[in-house]
Chain A
Amino acid sequence: MTGQTAAKASLLSCHSCGLLSRATPGHHVRAACPRCGAPLHSRKTNSVSRTWALIIAAYVFYIPANLLPVMSVTSLGKTQSDTIMSGVFYLVVHGMWPLALLIFFASVVVPMLKLIILTYLLISVQRRSHWRPVDRTRLYRITEAVGRWSMVDIYVVTILVALVKLGNLATIQAGAGAVFFAAVVVITMFAAMTFDPRLIWDVMENEHE
């Protein structure tokens, strides 16, 4: 029986507990897994359109996330605002190279790369691409795993806000950019969850017949 997919064998695999159940054809009532109770479906519901919607929202939020200040420092009456990129430049100017690279990677490269990869995967699925399914699945796996690390800048802002509140001496305020940036991270995480990597493989299935 190996060499066949669950869908071909009319089996539904539970996304939560992994139990295989027999699909009842023509039955449109939403079935639940007999073991854990999670809703059963052969493929994630409306995976492509849902993921597109989330990705487009993330692209839109990505712009204010980078243009608006993520935090502003007020020290002795003077206020200085920092965007993500100016924060990175600040670190470079002060010789903190490894930290600058880390923040640049986590806050700029990872979210952008994640959006580009998911966009590419969606287009490849819609165009019924047969190109390197193993590598595309691997790309998806990486995208899903690294997204969380982009939150680091949000936590840095939170910690700085909590630590630096010395009245006139120095205070730090979180900026609107941080809100949009957190939204981008959360939305792209949802986008990675709604994308169904099995769609990459469904096209290959039909080819063999």
Chain B
Amino acid sequence: MGQNTLIACHECDLLHRVRPIEDGAVARCVRCGAVLYRQKHNSLDRTLALTVAGLILFVVANTFPFLAFDMQGQVTQTTLITGVIDLWRQGMVGLAIVVLLTSIVVPGIQLMGLLYTLAPMKLGRVPPHLARVYRFVHALQPWGMMEVFLLGILVSVVKLAGMATIVPGLAIWSFAVLILVLAAAAASLDPRLIWERVEYR
């Protein structure tokens, strides 16, 4: 019996035999209930399409203003990066870096990393340093917080609504769609299919 047919639960270490399951099904640990793996329909193609859409939306979301604030005729417009720059200018360097990383840099690297991984695979090739790149993308997972940022935008809008006129910009819509696309990409990706392509050393 080869080691490849076995998998250990990442939460309780119990060994399980890998068995084929239906599309859309989830294999769970019999002891602690953690998700072992999911079978996804057309995983790599779908994730690639969503990644490309995500990159376009990401560029739009970062280029155009997402909110305009109109108080007694004085208008301020903001893009995603403005807040980071203003925090930096106020001397809040650490805070600016945390916001910059979690809301722009990490999601951007993740999207580019996925494109780098999936596009060559679509053409039947294995990109150089696949293991290292995908391992990095995987490790960044907890630190991309765009969906939390979107909630932050909504909270800010409600908070300021009584004080001034808030005009949503183009970026806010692409941002909202981007969140959905990112969630769909995460849901459609089966990491096992990527690891299968990696050659053993």
Contact = CB atoms under 8 A, between A and B. Distances in A.
Interface of A: 1-7, 9, 11, 13, 15-22, 34-38, 91, 94, 96, 99, 102-103, 133-134, 137-138, 140-141, 148-149, 151-156, 158-166, 169-170, 173-174, 178-179, 182-183, 186, 189, 193, 197-198, 200-202
A20 B7 contact: yes
Contact of A13 (B8, B83, B90, B152): B8
Contacts of B162: 94
B160 interface: yes
A156 B78 contact: no
21 contacts: A9-B15, A13-B7, A17-B198, A35-B195, A37-B132, A148-B145, A149-B148, A151-B148, A153-B152, A155-B148, A156-B156, A159-B67, A160-B156, A161-B86, A162-B82, A170-B71, A174-B87, A178-B95, A182-B94, A193-B142, A197-B11
A9 B16 CA distance: 12
B102 interface: yes
Q: Which of A37, A141, A152 has the most CB of B within 10 A?
A: A152
Interface string B132-169: 10110011001001001101110110111011000000
A140 B33 CA distance: 12
B92 A35 contact: no
B84 interface: yes
A22 B15 contact: no
Given A13-B7, A134-B31, A160-B156, 7 more contacts: A16-B139, A17-B131, A36-B134, A149-B148, A154-B99, A200-B12, A202-B13
B33 A163 contact: no
B128 interface: no
Residue of A9, A198, A202 with highest tally of chain B CB at under 10 A: A198
Nearest to A16: B135
Interface string B38-78: 00000000000000000000000000000101011010101
B32 interface: yes
Contact of B34 (A94, A137, A148, A174): A137
Contacts of B32: 133-134, 137, 197, 201
A17 to B, nearest CB: 5
A158 B33 contact: no
Contacts of A158: 83-84, 86-87, 95, 99, 152
B13 A35 contact: no
Contact of B13 (A13, A16, A156): A13
B16 A2 contact: yes
Contacts of B135: 16-17, 36-38
